[in-house]
Chain A
Amino acid sequence: MSSAGTLDILSETQALVSDKLQVVSYKWASRNFSVSSNDAKRMLQELVEQHGSDLKVVYVLSGWLKKSPPAYHITLTTALKLSEVKNEFEDNCSIQIYSVQECIPKDPVTLWNYELVQAEELFDQPATEENCLRDNRFCGVSNSFVKRNATGPSPIVAPPQTKNIGTITSSKSSTAPTTPVIQHQLHGKVQQPSPLTGVSTAALSSTVKRETSNSEAKDQDGKSSADEGQATSVPGYKKNAQAEKSSSATGSLSNLWNRASAKAKPSPPAETMAPNLTDTADAQIHAHEATGATGSDDEASDINYKRSSNGGSRKRRVVIDFSDEENDEDAVNLASPDPPKRKSSQDSDHRITDSDVQKSKVNLATHKEDQQKIKVEEKTEKEPSPSSKEDQTVRDKSKSSGISLSVKTPSLIPEDGANQMCKVNEASSNSPKRRKVLKTRIDDRGREVTEVVWEGEEVQNINTDERSTIIDASTKRPPAVKKSPALPSNAPSNPVGKAGSKKTGKTAGAKDPKQGNILSFFKKV
């Protein structure tokens, strides 16, 4: 790897971590930048040396434990606990950087979620497509018996029942029951008991495993040659399935909101997960394309289609923006410019959020009738657009604890206030053309919600505009409901659809026309 290339990658990674608040693990970096995982680790090391103070580092320690009987152990730890954890190991343990991130995620799933999305994308590419996962390019372990069968059917693997959520520190004993499964998944990669392979296997399965004996591995090799090249892809798929399960099992706020909406409104199930995943996935695809690893035209169009539909379904992420265009001009700019290489991915991000913003505007329009009544509320909403005011709200936020400040990031976990603050501050260095704008609103639960959204040129909006109109039409409340100005102006547009479908969904048709409505007696407050 040339030093110039490294520099590029370094600055790009830096941008990813600090602006996109992404967790960059060495595996992710390795696949994304098409470098070997050792190079990726070195690169991260370099990054930490340069920007160590701004970044939080998760280390991976591997080696033999001091306790007897000696067990090979791989664990992830934060910098704070590094020395502590290191004491548990024999002297010659290896300490490498697993990932760098803006802040240590509350939910360890985040650590490998990006990898998972990336792996998923790589495996989702057409079977004929070569990529670093398919041809096992960067893996230190290979199995000469396993040949890739590019034209063969893609393997269908039932999701394993193990719950191997990547924990920051996973101990051997706790994962012991699951190890057989993992060994089976990874049979091709466990032959050498060197620490390095240990790391890669552990990373692949996101759990800790004992070295298997050569004989066992060979046994399975025989088997695996039967299913040809699929063997290599199996772990990835399994991992995906697993991760999907585990990440959907985490109680992230977005998840819950998703559940809430899915309940009342059946149309877009798993909204939150999907957009989040695909959001980053798109970014990664583009990054991948940019690095020249893949990219036929067919595929590109495929991706484009996918992306736009994702953008459309992201109802949960709608940001209510009652300010109109002029106000937007005043809004605070938040992000530093992305490095040129990431332009494509930024683009995808940008489009998605654009559609959101657009949608909220369209949505606003549909509420025109209601607006007479809610004007007062709306006025208060409009106010915070000038930058000084925005800043004020941000500052206020830091003072009062427990205000949910949801920064629009692909991150799946709710962060605590402190983390969010650091993000917002970080984000406040700025970009000229497309910029992130901080939007603050009071949501319907009375909490202050601040979201960072992308603000962009009109051109981008045009194609999403149409779509969002359609969506809006589908989520529009039925006329019968309209007479009740049910929604406060600042409620996210999604509940609109929810309320509507709720009402029509219930046996409203069978309802007695003589039955009075409670809303005709009590006014909303």
Chain B
Amino acid sequence: MLELRLVQGSLLKKVLESIKDLVNDANFDCSATGFSLQAMDSSHVALVALLLRSEGFEHYRCDRNISMGMNLGNMSKMLKCAGNDDIITIKADDGSDTVTFMFESPNQDKIADFEMKLMDIDSEHLGIPEAEYQAIVRMPSAEFARICKDLSSIGDTVVISVTKEGVKFSTQGDIGTANIVCRQNTTVDKPEEATVIEMQQPVSLTFALRYMNSFTKATPLSNTVTISLSTELPVVVEYKIAEMGYIRFYLAPKIEEDDEETKPQV
């Protein structure tokens, strides 16, 4: 028996919007700690990890760990039927092959039940080790989304270089090149507008903008985004979900053999 009541239903809608284009089918794992998902995109270049902690739900009941395979496109279709203010309850019975989404309008005058069929998905669960990243950049998520969008109109890949001065996003394409530098800026009125760079050592990595752009679909979930980079590791683009958890996107870097400029300037 599983029953998760999420007062802020829009949050789940946003989560789905952010991952449905990246991953088609995924297993949602429910345990006592929370509602989580880990899935790779079909080409195994990116990985998305979602966690919604049980504390974030108004009511969280999960008798035993279950894994529910869902087609995210279909799930998104159903969640689109929920209003932004609706309370969403996810229900599933043990051994059942369906999951039920219940949408309650804020004043309780409308209750909708959507039952979705589950799928059998062979999950390829990856162990993600805790790692110290060489550089961690926190910046306004909208800013990051804007940068990725802009750069993708010029080139296909982005080189993210973090130095003491700031973080540089650069690309080059047929029409020319583009460089966007964001400096550390902590003297802002609102903390979420700050750009904070924590750097152990300079790092520079190349990524496919296509994936970066797809990650930025999670922008509505959080005002800030945290980008963690390490030379030997995939970049982590993390959007914190207020009081609930996070959605993290991992993207394998592009391997640059002879491009001197993209080598970390140690």
Contact = CB atoms under 8 A, between A and B. Distances in A.
B97 A256 contact: yes
Interface string A399-418: 01111100000000010110
Interface string A485-525: 01110011001001100110111100110111111111111
A445 to B, nearest CB: 5
Contact of A445 (B42, B44, B67): B67
B246 interface: no
B125 A512 contact: no
A513 B257 CA distance: 11
A274 interface: no
A444 interface: yes
A411 to B, nearest CB: 14
A440 to B, nearest CB: 16
Contacts of B117: 251, 255-256, 259
B208 interface: yes
A401 B121 contact: no
A328 B247 CA distance: 46
Contacts of B118: 256
A213 to B, nearest CB: 42
Interface stretch (B135-143, B169-177, B185-193, B248-256): B248-256
B126 interface: yes
A contacts with B: majority SS? loop
Contact of A402 (B25, B67, B94): B94
B95 A403 contact: yes
B171 to A, nearest CB: 14
A260 B25 contact: yes
B197 interface: no
A522 B25 contact: no
Interface string B124-151: 1111110000000000000000000000
A443 B69 CA distance: 13
A459 B232 CA distance: 55
A524 B45 contact: no
B69 A445 contact: yes
Given A259-B117, A446-B65, A511-B43, A402 B127 contact: no
B40 interface: yes
Contacts of B71: 263
A394 to B, nearest CB: 16
Given A445-B121, A503-B42, A519 B95 contact: no
A252 interface: yes
B254 A515 contact: yes
A518 B39 CA distance: 11
Of the listed residues B67, B122, B250, B256, the one surrounded by the most CB atoms of chain A closer than 10 A to its CB is B122
A417 B69 CA distance: 21
A508 B67 contact: no
Nearest to A516: B252
A269 B250 CA distance: 34
Nearest to A505: B42
A249 to B, nearest CB: 11
A522 B94 contact: no
Contacts of A253: 97
Given A260-B119, A402-B94, A525-B127, A515 B208 contact: yes
B241 interface: no
Given A521-B233, A522-B128, A487 B95 contact: no
A145 interface: no
A523 B127 contact: yes
A523 B47 CA distance: 13
A514 B252 contact: no
Q: Nearest 7 A-B pairs (CB), nearest first?
A: A402-B94, A495-B122, A516-B252, A260-B119, A402-B95, A522-B126, A525-B127
26 contacts: A251-B115, A256-B97, A256-B120, A257-B119, A260-B25, A263-B119, A402-B94, A416-B95, A445-B121, A484-B44, A486-B124, A514-B256, A515-B208, A516-B252, A517-B44, A517-B45, A518-B40, A518-B45, A518-B46, A518-B126, A521-B233, A521-B250, A522-B128, A522-B234, A522-B250, A524-B125
Given A256-B97, A445-B120, A518-B250, 9 more contacts: A260-B119, A400-B64, A401-B95, A402-B95, A404-B95, A506-B43, A519-B40, A523-B127, A525-B127
